[in-house]
């Protein structure tokens, strides 16, 4: 039995034939196609005309630094360059190692076709974007070097990753939490580095800091809330229900508003975090309620016999939850949970409404500059592309993870390998 048999190939009709079937199957389809084609080409022509002759891209080129990091002090920016380099290195390493250590049932494939495409795309983007932004030569070279580092590490890890002994492999996953802590220190200061107060963070950096902080913390909180909601203990259950429904009943902006205006009254003087961290905590507590609902659907999809069987084998409740219930439930809940993370990343734009300088907030200050007045379309288009890429990448990653964790292919294929 082969590990993966290709699907039987059916003879595909010639392209012209297919085009006719897709677009002109019936007279009505033909009319719809012609109208749509005309509309689409008119829109494309109008857009290209605008983008090449009317749009003034100087607003992006002159402010690229602001969009990236806000008003982060100039003399401390080497810390961010260091962080980006570390992140790129860790990404290249993890990417290569993922390919070098395949699932038990797969053969290692150092360069699958999709990876080559992704690497080529990454190279092209990093080659083009600094040029298009008219960045200073020094900065251009830095970006190219960082990309080269990423791709080199990817290639090296893919080539020699299999040599890493089996016992060491789980340890390498720890570079990410470690890198997160290092990143927070590099950004905020401390440990001998000069403090950079959160009020001076901005742009894409602030957006990513807030989103990653909230994503990391809302997940365990959401899992606890989901377990609480399904608990047999009434106090725990009703407490969780009350919290989840209260949060889900209110718009995020009112909660952010609450965080900015009431948190200061709730905590003894001086204990309340500053505005950036208040918003981060509100985002965390907000997203936790939605993640809890996503996880709850996963828990509900699990037959109750699983918990009962685990308990009757002598596992304690925490053991049964940790080793039997949650791994299965979280796998079911994965797409919905990542969907919530994507929403959370999008929700960080609301910070601009409470006066923080996230990506959208900094865009508003840039457009308030008389030199760039009325350049809304250019700025919003670039922001939309940025967000679209981030969200689409998260969605793709979720689908890949789902595929990797899919137990049905794992089970059948491992038995096939043994046989």
Partner 1 sequence: MTPSLRPQAAADAAAPLPWWRNRRLIPWLAQGLVGLLVLVVVAFLVGNLVRNLTAAGLLLSWGWLDNPSGFDIAETLLPYNAGLPYWRALLAGLVNTLRVVIAGLVGATVLGTLAGTAAFSSNGLLRRLARIYVEVVRNIPLLLQLVFWYFVVFLQLPNGDAALQLPGLVLAKSGLYLGHTELVNGVWQGSLRFTVEFGALLTGLVVYTGAFIAEVVRGGVAAVPAGQWEAARSLGLSKVQTLRRIVLPQALRVIVPALNSQYISLAKNSSLAVACGYTDLYSVAETTLNQTGRAVEVVLILLAAYLVIDLLISALMNGLNSCVQLKER
The residue ranges that bind partner 1 (CB under 8 A) are 21-23, 25-26, 29, 32-33, 36-37, 40, 232-236, 239, 249-254, 257-258, 261-262, 264-269, 342, 346-347, 349-350, 352-353, 360, 376-377, 380, 383-384, 387-388, 391-392, 395
Q: Please report how close the Cβ of residue 84 comes to partner 1 at its closest, in angstroms.
A: 24
Read off the tokens for 382.
């670039």
Contact 211, 280 (CB under 8 A): no
The 10 Å Cβ neighbour count of residue 220 is 11
Q: How far apart are CA 261 and CA 248, in angstroms?
A: 20
* Closest CB to partner 1 among residues 93, 332: 332
For partner 1, the closer of residues 37 and 193 by Cβ is: 37
Who's near 235: CB < 8 A, 6+ residues apart?
none
The residues facing 80 across adjacent strands are: none
As a whole number of angstroms, the distance between CA 109 and CA 388 comes to 30
Nearer CB in complex with partner 1: 218/379? 379
- Min dist CB 107 to partner 1, Å, is 32
Q: Which is nearer to partner 1, 264 or 273 (CB)?
A: 264
Alpha-carbon gap, residue 363 to 357, rounded angstroms: 8
Residue whose CB is less far from partner 1, 121 or 417: 121
Give the residue among 294, 212, 279, 302 at the shortest CA–CA distance from 248: 294
Residue placing its CB nearer to partner 1 in the complex, 96 or 203: 203
Between 144 and 257, CB nearer to partner 1 = 257
Measured distance between the N- and C-terminal CA atoms of the chain, rounded to whole angstroms = 8
Nearer to partner 1, 245 or 274 (CB): 245
Q: Which is nearer to partner 1, 124 or 392 (CB)?
A: 392
Taking only Cα atoms into account, the Rg of the chain, rounded to an integer number of angstroms, comes to 25
Nearest C-alpha neighbor of 330 from the set 292, 357, 373: 292
How many residues appear in the chain?
A: 419
Rounded least distance, CB 348 to partner 1, Å: 8
Compute the least distance from the CB of residue 61 to partner 1, in Å: 20
3-state class of 193 per DSSP?
A: strand
Q: How many CB atoms lie within 10 A of CB 187?
A: 21
- Per DSSP, the three-state class of 25 is coil
- DSSP string over 359-372: HHHHHHHHHHSGGG
DSSP state for residue 162 in the 8-state scheme: G
The Cβ-side half-sphere exposure at 185, using a 13 Å CA radius, reads 10
At 375 the three-state DSSP class reads coil
Cβ at position 290, least distance to partner 1 in Å: 10
């Amino acid at each position: 039995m082969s590990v993966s048999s290709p699907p039987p190939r059916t003879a595909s009709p010639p392209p012209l034939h297919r085009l006719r079937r897709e677009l002109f199957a019936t007279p009505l389809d033909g009319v719809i196609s012609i109208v749509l084609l005309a509309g689409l080409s008119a829109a494309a022509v109008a857009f290209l005309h605008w983008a090449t002759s009317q749009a003034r891209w100087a607003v992006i080129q002159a402010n690229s630094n602001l969009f990236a990091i806000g008003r982060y002090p100039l003399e401390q920016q080497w810390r961010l360059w260091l962080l980006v380099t570390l992140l790129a290195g860790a990404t290249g390493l993890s990417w290569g190692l993922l390919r070098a250590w395949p699932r038990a049932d797969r053969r290692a494939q150092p360069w699958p076709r999709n990876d080559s495409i992704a690497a080529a795309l990454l190279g092209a983007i990093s080659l083009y974007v600094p040029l298009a932004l008219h960045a200073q030569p020094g900065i251009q070279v830095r970006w190219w070097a960082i990309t080269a580092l990423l791709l080199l590490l990817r290639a090296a890890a893919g080539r020699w990753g299999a040599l890493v002994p089996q016992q060491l492999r789980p340890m390498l996953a720890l570079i990410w939490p470690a890198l997160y802590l290092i990143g927070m220190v590099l950004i905020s200061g401390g440990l001998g580095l000069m403090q950079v107060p959160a009020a001076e963070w901005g742009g894409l950096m602030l957006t990513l800091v807030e989103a990653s902080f909230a994503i990391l913390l809302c997940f365990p909180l959401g899992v606890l809330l989901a377990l609480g909601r399904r608990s047999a203990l009434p106090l725990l259950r009703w407490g969780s229900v009350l919290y989840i429904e209260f949060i889900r009943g209110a718009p995020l902006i009112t909660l952010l508003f609450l965080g900015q205006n009431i948190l200061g009254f709730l905590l003894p003087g001086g204990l309340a975090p500053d505005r950036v961290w208040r918003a981060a905590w509100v985002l965390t507590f907000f997203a936790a309620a939605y993640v809890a609902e996503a996880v709850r659907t996963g828990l509900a999809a699990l037959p109750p016999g699983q918990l009962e069987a685990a308990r009757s084998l002598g596992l304690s409740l925490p053991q049964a939850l940790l080793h039997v219930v949650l791994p299965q439930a979280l796998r079911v809940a994965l797409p919905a949970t990542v969907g919530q993370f994507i929403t959370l990343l999008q929700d960080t734009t609301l910070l601009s409404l409470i006066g923080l300088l996230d990506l959208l907030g900094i865009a508003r200050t840039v457009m308030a500059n008389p030199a760039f007045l009325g350049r809304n379309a250019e700025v919003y288009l670039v922001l939309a592309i940025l967000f679209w890429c981030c969200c689409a990448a998260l969605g793709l990653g979720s689908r890949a993870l789902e595929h990797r964790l899919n137990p049905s292919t794992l089970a059948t294929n491992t038995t096939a390998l043994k046989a």
